[in-house]
Amino acid sequence: MTHKPLFLFLLTVLLLASNLLHAAAPVPRPPSVGAKGYLVEDFHSEQVIAEKNADQRLEPASITKLMSAYVIFSEIRNGTLSLEDKVRISKKAWRTEGSRMFVEVNTQVSVADLIKGMIIQSGNDATVALAEQVAGTEEGFASLMNHYAQQLGLRNSHFVNSTGLPDKDHYTTARDIARIARALIREFPEYYQWYSQRSFTYNGITQYNRNKLLWRDESVDGLKTGHTESAGYCLVTSAERNGMRLISVVLGTRSEEARADASQALLNYGFRFFETHKLYEGGDKLTSARVWKGATGSVDLGLAETLYVTIPRGEYKNLDASMQLREQIIAPVAKGQVLGRVVIRLGDTLVREKDLIALNAVEEGSFWQRIVDEALLYFE
């Protein structure tokens, strides 16, 4: 009997050690990045993994061309522009300073070639030519950029040109840029492939994509570089590893090497210490709820869009999902009507919240059904 306390003590130590071995590794602080502002987030969940000055208004330089591309792709989708259209190069486009595709004045160039010149070569001449084709003038195109920016929910962005040449009224933020990048990838996958193209030859001149990570990291497939003296060196990157896609935005570094190293560090940090899971498919039935005074007695509930969560690696088993439904649901119920919430927690931390919506409509019941339910509700 004298050995029993020692045995219990050793057993307790072993159990504690076992728990420590199986506990998730702690997440270190994000890497120190020498940039005016940065952000790294998951593409699917839209959850931010790390950020610094993400809402500070900064000069985007040629990162602006992501917004220009979004407008151009939207116009193609709307049928007002096609890849085969020929664009006459104006003197203004030809004379635009900065990086160039080397188009020649008064020549006819296809929209497809100009887009490649804008994306791969970062040609300011190509971008202005496209802007003039879409809106008549670059000023008119900037108005379209701001219109689409509002539709995308960009809260701290304003554009006065298509190229990103410096102007005190031309600005955006790391968070807004990430939103543009997400929209490009999600809405225009057929054109997104151009962001991973390493070179483009036009008029006998071959130029190379300035995104160094396209050569360093095979998981990187976009997006855009930018540089002016006042903006510094900027880079927006997207990479996918094992089905998890991250977007990083780095603004205002001191060199090409610095922006590449900072972006790589942020991507590696996100992929190493976090994981993304799809919890619920959009449109699937998650539960049903009682409907009073309706033609049917219940309604199916689900999510409008697929729900993803991004959490520290090894913590999936600790996720807790709950549903909060409206106390009384009375017909009529419209399809898509919000009737509750899905709440995802990790311990005491709220991870995500999403609206539960009606997946089907419920019409008002007969007069007799309404009378019966009214009486039952009285005793609820």
> Within this chain, do residues 170 and 68 fall inside the same structural domain, yes or no?
yes
Identity (one letter) of the amino acid at 323? Answer: M
State how far the Cα of 370 lies from the Cα of 331, in Å rounded to an integer: 9
Which one of 45, 65, 238, 293 is the catalytic residue?
Answer: 65
> pLDDT for 342-361, tens place per residue?
999 999 999 999 999 999 99
Q: What is the pLDDT of residue 23?
A: 52
Domain presence at residue 27: no
> Within this chain, do residues 57 and 179 fall inside the same structural domain, yes or no?
yes
State how far the Cα of 245 lies from the Cα of 371, in Å rounded to an integer: 54
Identity (one letter) of the amino acid at 279? Answer: L
Final residue before a domain boundary, out of 255, 274, 293 = 274
> Within this chain, do residues 108 and 152 fall inside the same structural domain, yes or no?
yes
DSSP 8-class letter at 194? G
Location of structure tokens 């990291």: 217
Domain presence at residue 21: no
CATH of the domain at 324: 2.60.410.10
Q: What is the pLDDT of residue 215?
A: 95
Final residue before a domain boundary, out of 239, 274, 309 = 274
State how far the Cα of 119 lies from the Cα of 117, in Å rounded to an integer: 6
C-alpha distances in Å from residue 337, one per residue of 229, 280, 284, 331, 365: 51, 18, 15, 11, 18
The reply to whether 86 belongs to the active site is no
Final residue before a domain boundary, out of 274, 308, 332 = 274
Which residues of the chain fall short of a pLDDT of 50? 1-2, 4-22
Domain presence at residue 141: yes
With CA atoms as reference, report the closest residue to 239 among 223, 219, 259. 219
Q: What is the pLDDT of residue 148?
A: 97
> Within this chain, do residues 249 and 288 fall inside the same structural domain, yes or no?
no
Q: What is the pLDDT of residue 185?
A: 97
> Within this chain, do residues 49 and 197 fall inside the same structural domain, yes or no?
yes
Check if the beta carbon of residue 237 is closer than 8 Å to that of residue 220. yes
Q: What is the pLDDT of residue 1?
A: 43
> Within this chain, do residues 123 and 158 fall inside the same structural domain, yes or no?
yes
What is the pTM for the complete model shown?
A: 0.88
CATH of the domain at 228: 3.40.710.10
The reply to whether 65 belongs to the active site is yes
| Total number of domains constituting the chain | 2
Domain presence at residue 330: yes
State how far the Cα of 324 lies from the Cα of 338, in Å rounded to an integer: 11
Q: What is the pLDDT of residue 338?
A: 96
C-alpha distances in Å from residue 275, one per residue of 220, 266, 311, 347: 17, 14, 6, 17
CA 178 to chain centre: 5
Question: Domain span at residue 306?
Answer: 281-378
Domain presence at residue 369: yes
Which one of 45, 74, 122, 238 is the catalytic residue?
Answer: 122
Domain presence at residue 53: yes
> Within this chain, do residues 373 and 252 fall inside the same structural domain, yes or no?
no
State how far the Cα of 141 lies from the Cα of 279, in Å rounded to an integer: 40
- Preceding omega of 332 cis (within 30 degrees of 0): yes
